[in-house]
Amino acid sequence: MGDRITHLTKLDQTVLKWLADVQATVMKRIQQKVTVETKSNYRDLVTNIDREVEQYYVSAIRMFDPHAKILGEEGFGDQVKDMKGHVWLVDPIDGTMNFVKQKSEFATMLAYFEDGKPVMAWIMDVAQNETIHGGPDYGVYLNGQLMSKQVDSQLATGLVILSGARLLYEEYGFSEIAKSALGYRVYGSAGISFMHVLKGQANAYASYMKPWDYAAGMILSQSIGLKVGTIDGTPVNVLLSSVILTATQGTFDDIMVLEAKL
Ligand code: 2AM
Ligand code: CA
Ligand code: CA
Ligand code: CA
């Protein structure tokens, strides 16, 4: 076990250095001209910074872990078909619209698996220079400070964070969840949303997400004792997009009761 912790500590320190590099570069580049393009539709934005950061991660991972497979949103990694061996999931800029319009409330995320087993994850709130990092055998840290498990809570007593589009179009029972909670919030970044739940500021976060949107948040949530699952109760397959719910146990159960009534 001592060897395992040494190995995880080295991994953590290595990735934290990459994150410090990315943080400094992104906050400098954000003051210069950012090239914004659209992908699948006019609201689906990508910038030169999203691409540059992903390329940085891909070359850093290749150097550190040459046999690893990398699944990155912007496509500079590999075609990952299974979770065998070392697999990294990368979201270079999460909340690109916030990045472009607010220059705040966007994240950068990495998740690392060995033979399908969650090992370590990192979510950085880039503008705040705040990172939540850790894993199931390592503990969960906020900027290097061990985080404690939150107290359990019910849906009616706290905030839930939801995807704006799903709420607006009343999909997946999101409006029922919002009505049953004390209050609801929409942040426009999966990473920032996960951070709020990890810190105990919200009871739950639910959104339709792609693998790189939720892989890191899922690992950190499970490692701190939060419940993570798909909203329809099917097992999570981290290579597939689905509606993922992360919540305290009590709130998770309350939301699943609502979902069963839909
Ligand atoms: P992105 O900025 O990395 O694309 C915004 O609502 C949140 O949802 C962000 O975390 C954003 O990630 C993600 N997102 C954007 N488009 C999405 C889509 N079509 N499906 C799922 N998540 C999406
Ligand atoms: Ca995107
Ligand atoms: Ca994302
Ligand atoms: Ca992204």
How does residue 2 score in pLDDT terms, banded at 50, 70 and 90? confident
pLDDT at 69 over 70: yes
The answer to the question of whether 65 is labelled as a binding residue is no
Q: Is the CB of 188 inside a 6 Å radius of any atom of ligand 1? A: yes
246 C-alpha to center of ligand 1: Å?
16
Q: What is the pLDDT of residue 1?
A: 65
Query: What domains are defined for the chain?
Result: 2-146 (3.30.540.10), 155-260 (3.40.190.80)
Q: Is the CB of 72 inside a 6 Å radius of any atom of ligand 1? A: no
From the CA of 213, the nearest ligand is 3
Task: Name the residue at shortest CA distance from atom 6 of ligand 1.
Answer: 188
Return the axis-axis angle of helices 190-198 and 211-223, rounded to nearest 10°: 10
44 C-alpha to center of ligand 1: Å?
8
From the CA of 39, the nearest ligand is 2
Dist. CA 159–CA 200, nearest whole Å: 10
Question: What would the mean pLDDT of 4-11 be, rounded to a whole number?
Answer: 96
Please identify every residue whose CB atom is under 5 Å from ligand 4, which is an ion: 73, 91, 93-94
pLDDT at 150 over 90: no
Which atom of ligand 1 is nearest to 208's Cα? 21
Q: What is the pLDDT of residue 16?
A: 99
DSSP the chain: -HHHHHHHHHHHHHHHHHHHHHHHHHHHHTTS---EEESSSTT-EEEHHHHHHHHHHHHHHHHHSTT-EEEETTS-S-------SEEEEEEEEE-HHHHHHTS-S-EEEEEEEETTEEEEEEEEETTTTEEEEEETTTEEEETTEEPPPPPP--GGGSEEEE-HHHHHTT-TTHHHHHHHSSEEE--S-HHHHHHHHHTTS-SEEEEEE-HHHHHHHHHHHHHTT-EEEETTSPPP-TTS-EEEEEE-HHHHHHHHHHHHT-
- Cβ contact 238:113 at 8 Å: yes
The answer to the question of whether 44 is labelled as a binding residue is no
ipTM of the modeled complex? 0.97
The answer to the question of whether 91 is labelled as a binding residue is yes
Q: Is the CB of 96 inside a 6 Å radius of any atom of ligand 1? A: yes
